[in-house]
Structures are given as C-alpha cells and as structure tokens.
Amino acid sequence: MDKWRRRTRAVHAGTRRSRYGEVSEAVFLTQGFVYDSAEAAEARFEAAGEDEFIYARYGNPTVRMFEDRIADQLGYEDAFACNSGMAAVSGALTALLQAGDHVVSSRALFGSCLYVLEDILARFGVEITLVDGTDNAAWEAAIRPDTRLVFFESISNPTLEVVDMAQVVRLAHARGALVLADDAMATLVYSYARECGADIAIISTTKHVDGQGRMLGGAICGSRDLIRGPIETYMKHTGGAMNPFTAWTHLKALETLDLRVRAQAEGAARLAEALADHPAVSKLRYPTHDAHPQHALARSLTASGGTVLAFEVRGGKPACFRVLNALEIIKISNNFADAKSIATHPATTTHQRLPQDQKDALGISDGLVRLSVGLEDPEDLIADLTAALGAA
C-alpha cells in the first residue's frame, strides 16, 4: 500500500475481504465470534493474533478496517476507533494520566474538552495549566520537567486560533512530555499533526469523516505501542468502542473525503474573500486569509485554511440574529463539516454557559458567527450570505 498515493489509499487501505470476495467492505454486525473448539477459544483469549477477534468492545473486523484506513490517512502506525470524538479525547487523556501528573493545555478549547480537563481530571488529582495557545513563550514557561502531557486543538473552535505545532512539540519533547493534538478542525486532508511530530492525533470523525451529518465517531491515532498498549487497554475495558455500522459508513465516507474536503475548503476560501471587505462585517477569521493575524504561520503549516470560517457582524447580537434569520440555504445549527452549510452563533449556543470574561478572552463576541461551508455551489452561498448581510 505504501507505494500508492494518499487518495488511492483512502479507497483501498485496510480492506479485509471475506471468503466471498465482496467488492464493497462488509459490515460485520456482530458482537461476538465463534471458535472451532474449546482449545481455540482458550488460545484466542491467551493471545489474539492479527485478524482474530473476541468481542466487539475489544475489536471487530469492520472497525479494524476503518482503524487501519484512518491511521494510514493521517500517517500514524495505528488507531483505536471510538464511539464519539469525546470518547476519543477523554479516553486518550484518561488512559495516559494518573494522579499527580501535570498537563499543559491551550485555553481555547471545545467546551467538553475543557470540562474533561478542568473538572474530571482535576478531580482525580491531575494538575492543569491553561495557556494562550498562540503564545509560544507562554507554552515554554508552562511546560515543566515533570509535565506528562501537552494538549491543544490544532486550530481552535470557534475562533480559529492556530497553534505553532512544530514549535510546541519541540518544547514538549525537550521536557519529555507527550503531545496530544485534537485535530478535528484541521480536516484529515490538510492535517499536519504527524508532520509536526504530535505523538497522538485525536479526530472527531463526526466532522469531516462522516461529513454528511449522520454518525458520531472518533479515532485516536498514534504509534502501535501507545495505541495497542495503554489506549486499547483502557478503551476496551471502559466501553468507548465504535460500533461496526458506524465504522462501515466511515469506510465508505473515507473514499470520498478528499474530494469533499477540497471542494468545501475551496468554497470556504471564496466565501472568506467575499466577506473580507463587506461593510457589515467587522472582523474575518480564516486561517490562511490575510485578515487572520496568524496567516503566515497557517500558510507555513498547511495548503488550505479548511472548511470553517468565523466573522463578526457589526451591530452585535440583534444585527447578527437578523443576518442568521435571513439565510435561506445556510442552516442555523451547531455542528460543522457537514455537506450542508451551517451557521452557528457560539455566544448563545455552543458557548452559552462560558462566563463572560472567558468569552471575552477567547474572542467569542455577540456578533461572532462560525460558518461551516458545505458542498453547495459557492456562488449560491455567496449570494445567500450577502443577501442576508443586507439585513444587518
């Protein structure tokens, strides 16, 4: 498989065929497996070989195909597939940490990730230091010789801050800390986690992998030692495994991921251009666009700013709500990376419960809109958005 390019491997990597020689990957919708003899069962429980399964919470042939394919796409040796992005984030963190450990994390985090760090892990005696993820000096000051693990979102949600990943990885590794990158925003196609040396990349496959608003899923990608060691042991005993039907839809979705993400990212770049000089827009954030304060860093890391942009409507919440309510194609919802374009007002939905001072610190203003660009014709999306902005 190694000699083929990524798009080819997205269609073929990990495929395991049954004795029927099916073309499309089979969905093995089974919890358990039958053994030829009592001795065979005993041997399987002693040491399950490659392609030998015991129970779907531990592993399943369809899930295994998906794990191999997603690990390959991100350039990692192995992956463990989980039943949601949060099962992957909380599983990876809990599997690798113990009481007394120190963690440094960027402050601009998805709300549930912040809850896992600040509430759950702190409750079990893990010390957490939060830093401004865009400030390399802050990372350097916070990472200590006894820091066990460093965590961040490669590109933060919803304000699209970019972490200087190669530099943060260098700082962490110099002090012996593991680096976990929550890579949901980066999209698989434009991900640079492996290239920058992140030990583990965590993906909410709910986002670009599914890409069509159907399935919840997640994956923890890393070295075979980490994935089949502490990660698998923790995940298989605590019940966060992906179900085979989700793995099957994800396998089919990976076949088209590159085409979808490239089309969505191209649409997002065009919408960013259209919004940049619009009089109703006071601020635009798209990682690789000139208007983003970190555009030089973003361009050095990745060929595309991704499928999501953020902008501020002049006139605060009332003007912003008028714009959202005037949209015809773009739907008001709270997910991203769907084939359908989605507009979100983070201040009153996904980040409603965040205290005002933290909203201010993260730039989540009353006029902020997060826009996930789907697969519609970009010309129609630009027309929809500019017409709606007229209502501001």
Ligand X SMILES: *Cc1c(COP(=O)(O)O)cnc(C)c1O
Which residues make up the interface to ligand X (CB under 6 A)? 84-86, 89, 110, 113, 153, 157, 182, 184-185, 204, 206-207, 216, 218
Q: How far is the CB of 272 from ligand X (least distance, A)?
A: 19
Q: Is-cis flag, bond preceding 355, omega within 30?
A: no
Task: List, in order, residues 6 or more apart from 18 with CB less than 8 Å away.
Answer: 26
Compute the distance between CA of residue 67 and CA of residue 27 in angstroms, rounded to an integer.
Answer: 14
φ/ψ of residue 46, rounded to 5:
-70, -50
Compute the distance between CA of residue 315 and CA of residue 137 in angstroms, rounded to an integer.
Answer: 35
Ranges of H-type helices in the chain: 6-12, 38-46, 61-74, 85-96, 111-115, 122-123, 136-142, 165-174, 193-196, 224-226, 232-238, 244-276, 295-301, 316-326, 356-362, 378-389
HSE value, Cβ hemisphere, 13 Å, CA-based, for 224? 3
Q: How far is the CB of 40 from ligand X (least distance, A)?
A: 37
Compute the distance between CA of residue 186 and CA of residue 106 in angstroms, rounded to an integer.
Answer: 16
Q: Which single residue brings its beta carbon nearest to ligand X?
A: 85
Dig out the tokens for 146 from the structure: 């006894």
Q: How far is the CB of 193 from ligand X (least distance, A)?
A: 13
Q: How far is the CB of 60 from ligand X (least distance, A)?
A: 19
Radius of gyration from C-alpha coordinates of the chain: 21
Compute the distance between CA of residue 136 and CA of residue 384 in angstroms, rounded to an integer.
Answer: 39
**Which residue, 113 or 330, is less far from ligand X as judged by CB?**
113
**Which residue, 281 or 294, is less far from ligand X as judged by CB?**
294
Q: How far is the CB of 135 from ligand X (least distance, A)?
A: 20
**Which residue, 71 or 280, is less far from ligand X as judged by CB?**
71
**Which residue, 14 or 306, is less far from ligand X as judged by CB?**
306
**Which residue, 180 or 185, is less far from ligand X as judged by CB?**
185
Q: How far is the CB of 156 from ligand X (least distance, A)?
A: 8
**Which residue, 53 or 115, is less far from ligand X as judged by CB?**
115
